[in-house]
Amino acid sequence: MPDPMPEAAVALDRLVKVYKGGRRAVDGVTLTIPPGEIYGLIGPNGAGKSTTIRILATLLKPTEGQALVFGHDVVNDAMDVRRIIAYLPEDAGAYERLSGREYLEFCASFYEGDRAAFLERALKVADLGERVDDKVSGYSGGMKRRLLLARTLMTRPRLAILDEPTSALDVINAHHVRRTIRSMVKDEGGTAIVCSHNMLEIEFLCDRVGFIDKGKILGEGTPADLKRQYGAENLEDVFLRMAHHG
Amino acid sequence: MASHIVVLFKKELRVIFRDPTVLVGTLLIPLVLFPLMGSAISVSEQAAVRQLAEMEVAFLSLDGADGNGTLGDAFYLMLVSTNVSVQNATVTSASAAVNWTVERDLDTLVVLPANFTEEVAAGHRATISIYQVLKNFGPTEGAGSARVEAVVAAFNQAVAAQRAAAGLPNATAAEALYPARAQTHSIIHGTVRDVAPEIVINTVLGASLMLPLVVSIMIVMSAQLAATSVAAEKEQKTLEVLLTLPTRRENILAGKLLGVFAVSIVGTLAALIGFSSYAGSITSSLQTTDAAAAGLVPEAQGYALLLVTLLLAFVASLALAVLVASYAKDIYGAQSLMSVVYLPVFLPSIVLMFTPVEILPPAVQAVIYAVPFSYPSLAGKALYTHDYGVLYLGLVWQLVFVAVVLFLAARMFSTEKVLTARLSFRKRKRKAPEEG
C-alpha cells in the first residue's frame, strides 16, 4: 500500500478572480505548495499576486476554481483557514493609539494556545526593547514592520502569507526580517508564501518560485533550476525571458 | 465568541478614548463649555440686575404747585418707592439739569414740567421728560428710562383709577378702572389645576427644549465616532489583518458598535449634565411651576418608551454610520459621507423643539413619523402628554429599520465589500480596485 500523499499546504486549482467591470485579475492559477516550503510568487505590478494571496487569506472569494489551505476550503471553511494562517499585507498598519505590546496581546487573544508564549515569541521577533510599550504612533517604519512581522509569526502559523515583507525597510531592517522569516519558518516546520519584487530577497528566502503575469502562472521551479533552464544569471532575467516567450 | 467580542470592545474603547479629539469633543466641550456658556449668561443677568439695583436717577420738578399732596409729590413718592436712588437736581432749568446729571455721573434724569399738577388736575396731558445717559450702549443701559416709564404708567393708572372711582362711590379704584378680570386654569389629563396655561407650558418647555437637541447631538456624535472607527481601520491599514483574524466578522462589527455605544453614553451623560446647566440659565427667567403640583408627572411607561426609542435611534445611527463609512477610503471621506445622516437626525428635532407634531401639516407629519430618529423627541413630549399611541407604532417601525440596517452592516462586514466598496460621484471607470 503506497503512502498517502501528504496534504498540500496550499492547493490552488484553476483559480479565477474577476472584479466588477470584468477585469480578470487571476486567470486560472493552479499551483501546489507542500508543507515546509517557502514559495515565492513573483510578477510585475497588476500581475495578480496580491489578489491570489488575498484569496488564500480569505479576504476575497474566488470567482471560479478552488483554493485549499491544508485541505480547508478558503470559502466554505474560512474560519478553519484563519486559525492556521497569518497574513502580512504589503502596506499593513497597526493601531496608532495602542502600544506595541497591547497590539500583540490584542492579536494573540484570538488564537488558541499559550498566549504568554505567543507574546514572548513576538517580543523576540520584534526586537523593540523598551519601545514595545510606547504607542505605535511613535514608531519608525522599520519598527512598525518588525512589529507586524512579529504579529504574523508569533502564533506559529501553519501557513504564513507575506506580501512584500521588507517593503519600505532599510537594508539593516530588511536583512533582519528576511533572516527571521527564514529561521522561524524553517526551524518550526512552517510553510510560507512570499510575494516580492525583490529578486535577491526571493532567491535568499524561497525554496521554489512561481512567476505570474496577467493572472497566469508562467513557470515554476527552484531558483537554481530556473536560472539553468533559461540560461539566466538571475531571476530577473529568468522572468523577462519567461514573459517574452509566454 | 463572547470573549472575542469583549477583546474587540476593549480595543475599540482604548483606540477611541486615547484620541485627544474625542476626549475634547465628548467630555471637555459638554462638561466645560456648556456650563461656561450658562455661567456667562448668568453673569450677564446678574450684572444687569446689579445695574438696575444701583441705578441713580436725577429728579427736577418745575411744577409750580404749592403745598404737600400735589400730583408732582405723588409722582416723586412713586419713583422713590421703586428703590432707585433719587437725587434732587439743584438747578432751575432742564438744560442745566442735564449738565448737572452728567457731571455727577448719574444714569437718568426725570423732569416734571411747570404746572404739572395744574394740567393733570384739569384733565389735560402733561409730559414728563426722561433723559437716559448712554455711555457704553449696552443692552441694559435703557433699563433706567424703562423703569421711570413704568412709574409713569403706574402714575397714570392711579390717577385714572381715582377719576373712575369718583363716579362710582361703591367701587374701589381698581374695580372702577378694571371692571372685569380673568382667572385662568389649566386642565391637565382631565384634572383642573389652578395654574395659568402659559406657566405650565413654560415648565414643560424647559424640558422639551433640551431633549430634542441633546438627543440629536448625541446621535450625531455616536454616528461620527462609528464612521471614524471604520474609516480609521482603512486609513491606518489595519482592516485587512483584522479581517483575517480567527473570529467571526459579526464579532468585529459587534465590538465596534459596542465600543462606540459605550463612548457615546459617556458623551451623552456629559452633554446632559453640561447642557442642563446651560438650559437652566436660559429658562430661569421664565415663570414656571412645580411640575408635580401641576400634574405633569411622567409615568413609568413614558420613561420606558423614551429609553427604548433612544436606544433604537442610537443603534440605527451606529449601524448606518458603519454602512456609510464602509464606502469611504479614509476618515475625511467618511466624515463627508456622514452629512447624509445628519439631515434626517437634526431636522425632526429642530421642528419638534418648538412645535407639537399634531399641528404640523400632514405632509410634514408624515416625514416626521417616517424618520426613525424622530421618536426620542416624540417620546420626550409624551412624558407629559401621556399620549403613547403613535409611539408604539413608531417603535415597530424603528425596530424594522434597525433590523434592516444592522443586517446590511453585518453583510457588508461579512463580504469582501468592506474592503472593495467605494462611493464615487465621478463617472465610473471600468477598473478593478486594489488588484495586485
Which residue, of B194, B216, B246, is where some domain finishes? B194
Return the pLDDT at A137: 93
Chain B residues with CB-CB distance to A57 below 8 A: 240, 244
The span from the CA of B177 to the CA of B154, in Å, is: 13
Q: What is the pLDDT of residues A32-56, one digit of tens each?
A: 999 999 999 998 888 899 999 999 9
Is residue B139 within 8 Å of B99, Cβ to Cβ? no
Does residue B11 lie in a domain region? no
Same domain for B43 and B64 = no
pLDDT score for B187: 78
Can you give the length of chain A in residues? 246
In a domain, B268, yes or no: yes
Distances (CA, A) of B407 to B311, B320, B401: 17, 10, 10
Asked whether residue B428 is domain-assigned, the answer is: no
The maximal CA–CA distance of chain A, rounded, in angstroms, is: 60
Q: Which of B194, B229, B252 is the last residue of a domain?
A: B194
Mutate to test the interface with B, among A15, A17, A20 (most CBs of B within 10 A): A20
Q: Which of B144, B163, B194 is the last residue of a domain?
A: B194
Residues B232 and B286 in one domain: yes
Same-domain check for residues B239 and B267: yes
Write the DSSP assignment of B38-102 as a string of letters: HHHHHHHHHHHHHHHHT-EEEEEE-----SSS-HHHHHHHHHHTTT-EEEE---SSHHHHHHHHH
Residues B161 and B280 in one domain: no
Domain count, chain B: 2
Chain B interface mutation, best of A97, A134, A161, highest count of B Cβ atoms under 10 Å? A97
Confidence at residue A195, expressed as pLDDT on a 0 to 100 scale: 93
- B13, part of any domain: no
Contacts of B420 in chain A (CB under 8 A): 19
Does residue B9 sit within a domain? no
Do residues B179 and B218 both lie within one domain? no
Averaged pLDDT, groups of 10, chain B, 436 residues long: 87 90 76 75 73 82 72 89 88 91 90 89 88 80 85 90 79 73 75 77 69 80 88 90 94 91 82 68 56 71 88 89 87 85 82 84 92 90 86 94 92 85 53 45
Residue B158 included in any domain: yes
pLDDT at residue A168, rounded to an integer: 78
CATH for B162: 3.40.1710.10
Contact B58, B87 (CB under 8 A): yes
Which cell is B380 given? Answer: 420626550
The size of chain B, in residues, is: 436
A92 to chain B, any CB pair closer than 8 A? The answer is yes
Residues of A in contact with B14 (CB under 8 A): 97-98, 102
Domain range spanning residue B82? 55-194
Using the Cβ of B245 and the Cβ atoms of chain A, whether some distance falls under 8 Å is answered with yes
Q: Is residue B120 part of a domain?
A: yes
Q: Do B186 and B334 belong together in one domain?
A: no
Question: Do B154 and B232 share a structural domain?
Answer: no
B380 & B271 share domain: yes
Cβ within 8 Å, pair B243-A59 = yes
CB contact under 8 A, A51 and B436: yes
Q: Do B86 and B174 lie in a common domain?
A: yes
Residues B148, B227 share a domain? no
Q: With a cut of 70, list the residues of chain A below it in pLDDT.
A: 1-6, 245-246
- Residues of chain B positioned with their CB less than 8 A from the CB of A50: 434-436
Query: What residues in B contact A91, CB-CB < 8 Å?
Result: 237
User: Does B383 lie in the same domain as B290?
Assistant: yes
C-alpha B211/C-alpha A136 separation (Å) is: 40
Residue B301 and residue B237 share a domain: yes
Do the domain assignments include residue B269?
A: yes
Instruction: Give the closest-approach CA distance of B259 to chain A in angstroms.
Output: 15
Distance separating alpha carbons of residues A109 and B398, to the nearest angstrom: 36
Helix or strand run (H / E) with residue B315: helix B300-325
Question: What is the reported pLDDT for A103?
Answer: 97
Q: Which residues pair with A17 in a beta bridge?
A: A26
- pTM value > 0.90: no
Packed helices B143-167 and B34-53: angle between N→C axes, nearest 10 degrees: 60
Rounded Cα distance, B204 and B250, in Å: 43
- A-chain residue closest to B242, CA distance: A107
Q: What is the pLDDT of residue B11?
A: 94
